[in-house]
Every structure is written in structure tokens, then in C-alpha cells.
Structure 1
């Protein structure tokens, strides 16, 4: 895909949704960190249902540690892999207290050193909580980037690196929101809704649907 097409795609996505937001519900960087950690192999809807009950009770590292692993499990047991996630959230909360003054660090290396936090989670936190121009590539973004030929790559890291190169600076803060929402609701996995797509004429996917 050429530069002109990419720019037009980004412009249309921006015009359609000028101020995109994560669909995870949070009010602080710590709440976001917990929500994103819980969202691995789970839906945002499912995570939000759990955190609506959890956060009024425990939304700080100290409160999570006081709640304990077993107490935390009671709030997140509807989420997949809740046992390991409860352990990770409890451990990362203690680390934030011990090493970071109970604050979520604005540092990729420090974030990725936390239990249950990988590159994608770190990217989401840096982007959504602190406004960094990071691009978190999940399955939706990986699919949309390859299917449209906007930024092709054989794995999520390759797609992230390609997006970093081809997305102009002015679009970088919001691009992962636009692509994830596009993949979640329009360019869906089994049958993309090409007839409802605002970038259909620019997309280079050959097997378009009606």
C-alpha cells in the first residue's frame, strides 16, 4: 500500500472518530494497568463487569494487597485465567508499592518487569494513561493491518514495527484505537462488513464481502 492511501485511511478514521478512547473503564493509570492485565484472552465487556465491582472496593496498590489474592479472585472469577491474573495483579501491586512509590511508572522497561505485563500491555498503558505515541498490536490490529495491506507483518512485533514506520506522527497517539475498533466492529475475523466500511475503496483485501 502506498503512502497516499495510508494517509487517506488515517484521515477518514480520524474524521469518523476524532477522540477515540479505550473501551476498558478506568479513572487512574493504576486502574488501567489492572484492567489491561485482566483483559488478556478476555473481552473488554467481561473485564468491565468485574472491575465495576472491584474498583469501588480496591483501586490502589495498597487496597489490592490488603484484599489478598483470594479476595481478589472473588471479584475477577468470571474472567478467564483468573487464578494466574489474581496472582499477577497482587504481585505487581506490591512491586509498585516497594519500588515505585505506589505509582505506575512511565517507563516501558519498568512496566514490562511487572508480573503479567508484556509489551502490548505496556504500550496500552503508556498510550492511554500517559499519551505516549505507542502502538499496541493485538489480534484485531494484526488482522486489519495485514488484511488491508496497510502494514503487513508475520507477527505482532513485525506489524508494530511497520506501523511505527508508516504512520505519521500526527496520527500515532490514536491509531491503535482506530484500528482496534475497526477490527472489532467492521473488519471482523470471520466475515468483514465491507459494505459498511468507510475505507473499503482504499483497502487492498481481494475477497471483499457485500
Structure 2
């Protein structure tokens, strides 16, 4: 089992990064916010979970133990595989996900592509007693200020190859329309406005 990888970042994409570990490049699937937290040529460490299938071995990476724990926990629910678990963490930050599960907020869970009403209800029933409600009671950004999100997402876009001025302009425009958006939502919208996603 590969529990973590550390080394210089060779490549960064929206859904994965490649990290050089002793001359071997490991492709690690990540959320957009995690991809935005690393930079090409800079040494980084990612906590990982390795999923082994008959025809593949896939690494999923996280910057925090909490996110990795939630990734594993989500997959204990019937119908939730690693890709859907990853999509959930891409849409909902760990605190927001814990809040939705503990509070029975199926509508929040249904904002994740691939999660319908039945799966959302199953997630709540099976996991509400297995997660701790986060201390923050704020919505959207889970207690992170708009200024912090602006800086974080701007840095993420710069890490993906955009000019800083261009990235900051896109982020400001997104936050002006949706000031309560979390970092993952702002990153996706910023990439869309810059022509990198549909």
C-alpha cells in the first residue's frame, strides 16, 4: 500500500498531478483544489490511497488526513466508488460534507454529479452517526473568507499555467457573482471562464 508520495511535481492537470519519486513518476488523481495547491517543479507531499482493481492500480491523493478519511468512509456506502467519492470531495469541502451528512442535508449532497436522491439519502442514513459535525456553522466556504479563497484560487490558476493578472481577474469576477462559493466551485468557474473547461 502506498500511503504517501513526496517529490517534485512534474505535471499538474485539473484532475491529477504527477510527482517524481526517486525517478518514478506517480500519477495521482486529485480534486481541483488539491491540484491547485501544488506547483510544477516544487516538492510536494500528498497523502494517498491506492485502489487496486483487476486491470488497474490507481492512486488518489489528498493534502489533509481528514479528506482521505472521508474518501474512505464514503466508499463504505453501497453504490459509492472511488470516483464518486472523489467527485463528492471536489464539490464539498470536508467541513461542508460533514455538515451535510450530520445534518441530513440531501440537497447539498445532490449537488454532486452522480448523486441522486436515493444515494444522498443512503449516505445520510449510513454515515450521519459516523461523522462529527464541524465546529463552524457557516455555509458555502465553510468559514474561509472570500479574500482567502481569492488568494488560494488565484494561486491555483497560476500553478496551472495562467498569468497572475489574468487568473486574479477571473477569480474576482466569479466571486462577484457568487460570493459564498467555496474554493473548488470558484476554481472550476474560473477555469471555465478562462476557456479550459466546458
Q: Which has the higher contact order (CA 8 A, sep 6+)?
A: 1
Determine which structure has the larger strand proportion and give its number. Answer: 2
Q: TM-score, normalised by structure 1?
A: 0.30
Q: When you count helix as a share of all residues, which structure comes out higher?
A: 1
Please, what TM-score do these two structures have when normalized by structure 2? Answer: 0.31
Q: State the structure with more CA Rg.
A: 1
